[in-house]
Amino acid sequence: MGMRLKDWGDREKMEAEWNARTMARYQRQMVLPQVGIEGQRRLLKSRVLIIGAGALGSAAATYLVAAGVGNVGLVDGDTVELSNLHRQILHDDADVGRLKTRSAAERLRAMNPEVNLIEHAEFLTRHNVMAIFGSYDLVVNGSDNFPTRYLINDAAVLSHIPLVDAAILRFEGQLSVFRPGFGCYRCLFPAPPPPGVVPDCAEAGIFGAVAGVLGSMEAVEALKILLDLADPDSHMFMIYDALGATWHRMPMHRDPDCAVCGDHPVIREPIDYERFCQSSGPSSVGSVRGPVVSEFALEVSEVKALMDNPAVTVVDVREGNEFHSGHLPRARHYPLEDLDRLLVDGITDTVLVVCAVGVRSAYGAKYLRSHGVTAFTLRGGMAAWRDAYPDDNT
């Protein structure tokens, strides 16, 4: 059984609290016709679990608690470190060495005493995840490692609850919303990349404000689901580039062969995710990173030879202004969010996918391969091509 949530008392007490302070606290929110009094009541009864009281969790929890989500659980077994403070805004210098759940819960209770904060001062494992998830309506993922990411995904599918997921690295981030019956993280990335391929924040760095952007977006999407404002048929996978100040929406569909949410699932309970992530072979991109490594990323010299074949279609997935500033010879422009149009146009032979530095193109090639297209990507993107062939672009 999951943790029992706080008893909010009898109806008379609830109505008294509503009349006294709740109306004033949430008035600016309730004036929105999409929220109103009934929407606010729905939020106050909602139960949201936030995985990780770190960078993403700080921003997501702040806005969910401020919005009046009545029951918010925080899962994290870690303690605050000095190096966390530039991005994990629920903690301050005096909290170094303390449990993140305790530090975060104290700050959030001070912000909104009406919210019930539940502290799960532990790391998620395959042994406790289903019991913890059983007490909540929705999960927001702010974890930063692949074993936990796949564990959370599988548990959300098995628990039949929505999952709002984000990842960040350097100046980039990704945001996904997975609703029961409409696909999951494994539909995009059936297996994680090999160990050591993806650097962590300590190795690669993170621009702190990027965590604020992605964590806030997680809160937005969670609130939309709780208020029934999100289209249940929507499939969201978005990539954020802080340096370019751009969002790119990538088409996403449920994979009928998915191991956990497909037509014939083989995963029916949480597995050993440490072993799963350690033993996985080369795989497609599983998180925003740089430089991108995959088994279908080609070096510049290989691409040069490949382009001599007229049967190869070159697809540039950058935005229009980027494409017009210079692109590969014979390149056709299909922004990342328009890749379904490429399939409709009947381009199903060998495709070379190109972007600025190789991040967006890796996602695009992965998506095309999931639809049976033999797709490759240029490692390092147009930046690498221009370095090697400064005069050979249109």
Burial of residue 128, with CB atoms counted within 10 A of its CB: 0-12 exposed, 13-18 middle, 19 or more buried = middle
pLDDT of residue 285 exceeding 60, the answer is: no
Instruction: Please state whether the predicted TM-score (pTM) of the whole model is above 0.85.
Output: no
pLDDT of residue 345 exceeding 80, the answer is: yes
Report whether 354 contacts 381 (CB < 8 A).
yes
Q: Which residues pair with 169 in a beta bridge?
A: 172
- What element of type H or E holds 139? strand 138-141
Please identify which residue in the block is written with the tokens 């500033």. 325
Rounded CA-CA distance 193/213 in Å is: 25
Q: pLDDT tens for residues 183-238?
A: 999 998 888 876 655 655 655 678 999 999 999 999 999 999 999 997 766 667 89
* CA 81 from centroid of its chain's CA atoms: 24
Domains of the chain, by residue range, sit at: 11-279, 297-388
Rounded CA-CA distance 173/278 in Å is: 24
The highest-confidence range among 287-301, 365-379, 380-394, by mean pLDDT, is 365-379
What pLDDT sits at residue 16?
Answer: 43
- CA-based nearest residue to 143, from 70, 257, 50, 208: 50
pLDDT of residue 8 exceeding 60, the answer is: no
Structure tokens at 386: 């221009």
Q: For 153-178, what is the mean pLDDT?
A: 94
Show Cβ contacts of residue 31 under 8 Å, excluding neighbours closer than 6 positions. Answer: none
- CA-based nearest residue to 59, from 104, 92, 122: 104
Rounded CA-CA distance 32/86 in Å is: 34
Rounded CA-CA distance 354/380 in Å is: 9
User: Which option is the CATH number for 297-388: 3.50.30.30, 3.40.640.10, 3.30.70.990, 3.40.250.10?
Assistant: 3.40.250.10
Mean pLDDT lowest for which of 36-50, 149-163, 214-228, 317-331?
317-331
Q: pLDDT tens for residues 21-31?
A: 788 899 999 99
Which pLDDT band, with edges at 50, 70 and 90, does 7 fall under?
Answer: very low
Q: pLDDT tens for residues 359-369?
A: 788 888 888 88
Rounded CA-CA distance 383/58 in Å is: 34
Counting every residue written for the chain, the total comes to: 394
User: Which option is the CATH number for 11-279: 3.40.50.720, 3.30.830.10, 1.10.10.10, 3.30.1650.10?
Assistant: 3.40.50.720
What pLDDT sits at residue 189?
Answer: 86
Q: In what order do the strands lie in the sheet with 351-354?
A: 297-298, 375-378, 351-354, 313-316, 331-333
Rounded CA-CA distance 68/70 in Å is: 6
